[in-house]
Amino acid sequence: MTGAIPSIALVGNPNAGKSSLFNALTGARQKIANYPGVTVERKAGHASFADGRPLSLIDLPGTYSLTPASLDEAVTRDVVLGKQDGEKRPDALIVVLDAANLDNHLSFALELLALNLPTVVALNMVDLAARDGLTLDAERLSKELGVPVVPTVAVRKRGMAELLAAVDGAIRSHGADEIAAPAEANDASLHQRARTIARAAILSETPVRRWTQRVDNVVLHPVAGMIILLALMFVMFQAVYAAAEAPADFLEGGIGIVQQWVVATFPDNFLRGLVVEGLLAGVGAVVVFLPQILILFLFILLLEASGYMTRAAFLMDGLMGKVGLSGRGFIPLLSSFACAVPGIMATRAIPDEKDRLTTILIAPLMTCSARLPVYALIIAAFIPDTNVGGTPVGLQGLVLFGLYLSGIVGALVVAYVLRRTVAKGAGAGFMMEMPRYQMPRLRDIAIGLWQRAWIFLRRAGTIIAMTTVILWLLLTFPQAPEGESQVEYSVAGRIASGLEVVVAPIGFNHDIALALIPAMAAREVAVSAMATANAIDAGDDEEAMAQSLGERLQGKWSLATALAFLAWFVFAPQCISTIAITRRETNGWKWPMFMVGYLFLLAYAAAGITYWTAVAFGLG
Amino acid sequence: MTALLENLLDRAPLGVMVRIARIDWTAMSEDEGRRLREFGLMEGCEVTPLHRGSIFSRDPLALTVGRMKVIIRARQAAAITVEPAA
Ligand SMILES: Nc1nc2c(ncn2[C@@H]2O[C@H](COP(=O)(O)OP(=O)(O)OP(=O)(O)O)[C@@H](O)[C@H]2O)c(=O)[nH]1
Ligand SMILES: [Mg+2]
């Protein structure tokens, strides 16, 4: 180390708190959650020692040993052994241990210590160990391991200064260049030693807390557990409607006022049209769904932070197993409720290759938050805001729940077929650690929500705004002669008329045909596109302008068309990012092409069947 | 010992601690076997099976190993012979 910034890697078992430590030391906001396999990539960040010298910190995926079982674990091995392309080997390791799980975590620690890199052990989660009635002797542990051991509470930033000081000391005092190759330790003997050391370090211990066990007895009960899982999801969708209404109305009102002000203040010119019809009407129509999206995320974040996620995986494993997947895959699929992109990334933690491929291919069927604006718009316009037969269950929330369920059921059916055709393979295994329950920390949840809100608004401000503006241009030119519809006459309108021929059989009208192509960029654009087209259509007609997009659609579409449109969005792969990430994660164009193809076919069929059925029932 | 007398973890009663007498490593893939050992499941260790299956199937099985709770599939549990813990 000749003056270069030392790089220090955080290594340890899954869920030991590596990313929490990374965040505490660097001020970064890596995702942390209470289940194994959250981090699937190497991430670097900057921190500094007490005297101000900089250091580079590397957060790694958790793993149980240097022999990887999945792609994310391979990253850790490669970085630690210096095999990663273009990466030098870390100058030191911080081995992160869960204090309440020493027996197990020490085995990997011993394997890492055998590498003979400068090493410090972070004895993390000492607060949880204390909660569970464990008292540990860090000094004794340090003596047994021969390296410094620093007790830490990553989420409260306790022990950070001591940890860095110990790392500094370890690097300085390390006898240079004696870095060993990984020792071929027999796991049994390694475990034996780990257990002996753990026993020596534990000063006192009471049996594992009973209440967590009691919670699990209910939550993992074959029948009660399933009911709880369904009830949780159900409440989530009811809440999306019930709680978001007021803030959404408020946003909508606010945008309306700005719109009127712009119209009243500026002369009617090109720029005003772009701002009013493209940005305010178009992008604004998407932004009003922010409250809904945040409520959905609040639920997901709470599930992730509490430790419930792995319980859900346990409950779903039986069903997932029947279609050739495993409960492990349920976690990335639930993540895909937020967005399929991180969901697809999270599949790296799935050991079986075919299992992983199948999970990637069905991830776009999970209802991502980008569909929420589309669903919410159509549901609000066409589904009456009533309760189901005198119960407190809202019909709109129920329909939304149904759409999510259709996505899940569709995904399972597709998985079943894929596992017997293109992704054939032995039944996937399922082995996972179940973390202890934790009280979600308000700060973490707030940061998570803020991040999601920011991502959503950035999307609205970039890809959605850009696509909408382009569409607005294509809708504005050429200028229609007096008496003809501007939307139909424009370039975009003519393209839509061409597409309409193809989609008319499944009940799609000109509005929808117009929205479908730009919505490839992002699903929300379907909403902004229709809003923009409607705003252009409304022109200076005050009455039409005062109407909300939902009200306008209500007047123009039949219920059958609306339902077909919803069915289309359950399946259609309207998202470039998903296609791009699938290409990256499957190393080629074959699978993303396959995915796009089968999803469009399904979307067409689903929309068609929905439309024809609805028409048969007289809803056309 | 005959097969009839053997107790497999797959069929062990829930909530009762047992000791692992033997594991048939040939009944599973190398990766699965390694992950079992990484969870600390090996000959001589004590485990308590706690939860089994859902309405969909008998899979999976949740058990405690020391202070850790892990999930495995019935297929692996069926390769693990257990005996009463002392
Ligand atoms: N009580 C307590 N909880 C902690 C502490 N450190 C981390 N956690 C929690 O433990 C869980 C796992 O933390 P992460 O930082 O995501 O763990 P990780 O090691 O990065 O996990 P992977 O990326 O899955 O390998 C989260 O719910 C954290 O909030 C700690 O010191 N005390
Ligand atoms: Mg992590």
Alpha carbon nearest to ligand 1 atom 3, residue: A125
What's the structural domain count of chain B? 1
Q: What is the pLDDT of residue A182?
A: 54
| Residue at token pair 């470039």 | A576
For residue A151, the one-letter residue type is: P
pLDDT tens profile B72-86:
998 889 999 999 887
Residue B85 contacts A where some CB pair is shorter than 8 Å: no
Which of the four pLDDT bands, split at 50, 70 and 90, describes residue B5? very low
How many alpha carbons fall within 13 Å on the CB side of residue A380?
22
Q: What is the pLDDT of residue A180?
A: 55
Q: How far apart (Å, rounded) are the C-alpha atoms in residues A101 and B58?
A: 28
Q: Is B11 on the interface with A (CB under 8 A)?
A: no
- Structural domains present in chain A: 7-205 (3.40.50.300), 243-288+441-557 (no CATH)
Contact call for residues A564 and A607 (beta carbons, < 8 A): yes
pLDDT of residue A280: 86
Residue B25 is classified by DSSP as: G
CA distance A321 to A329: 10
Q: Residue A209's pLDDT is what?
A: 64
Three-state DSSP string of A355-379: HHHHHHHHHHHCCCCCHHHHHHHHH
Structure token pair of residue A578 = 């998903």
Residue A434 Cα, gap to closest chain B Cα (Å): 5
| Structural domain that includes position B22 | 2-84
B71 and A132 in contact by Cβ < 8 A? no
Amino acid at the residue A415: A
Give the pTM: 0.89
| Residue pair A79/A90 in contact by the 8 Å Cβ criterion | yes
**Residue of A10, A11, A13, A15 with the most ligand 1 atoms within 8 Å of its CB, for mutation:** A15
Q: Report, as an integer, the average pLDDT of B51-64.
A: 88
Q: Indicate if the pLDDT at residue B1 is higher than 50.
A: no
Distance CA A466, CA A523 (A): 14
Residue A347 Cα, ligand 2 centroid: separation in angstroms? 15
Q: Which two tokens stand for residue A418?
A: 């894929």
By alpha-carbon position, which residue is closest to atom 32 of ligand 1?
A125
* Blockwise average pLDDT, block size 10, chain A, 620 residues: 79 96 94 93 93 94 92 94 83 94 91 92 93 89 93 94 94 68 66 87 76 90 92 85 79 86 85 84 85 89 93 92 88 86 90 91 91 90 84 84 90 94 81 92 92 89 88 85 81 89 91 90 89 81 73 89 94 90 94 95 95 88
| Residue B51, domain CATH | 2.30.30.90
DSSP conformation letters of A25-92: HH-------SSS----S-EEEEEE-TTS-EEEEEE----SSSS-SSHHHHHHHHHHTT-STT-PPPSE
| Res A185: pLDDT | 61
Separation of CA A20 and ligand 2 centre (Å): 7
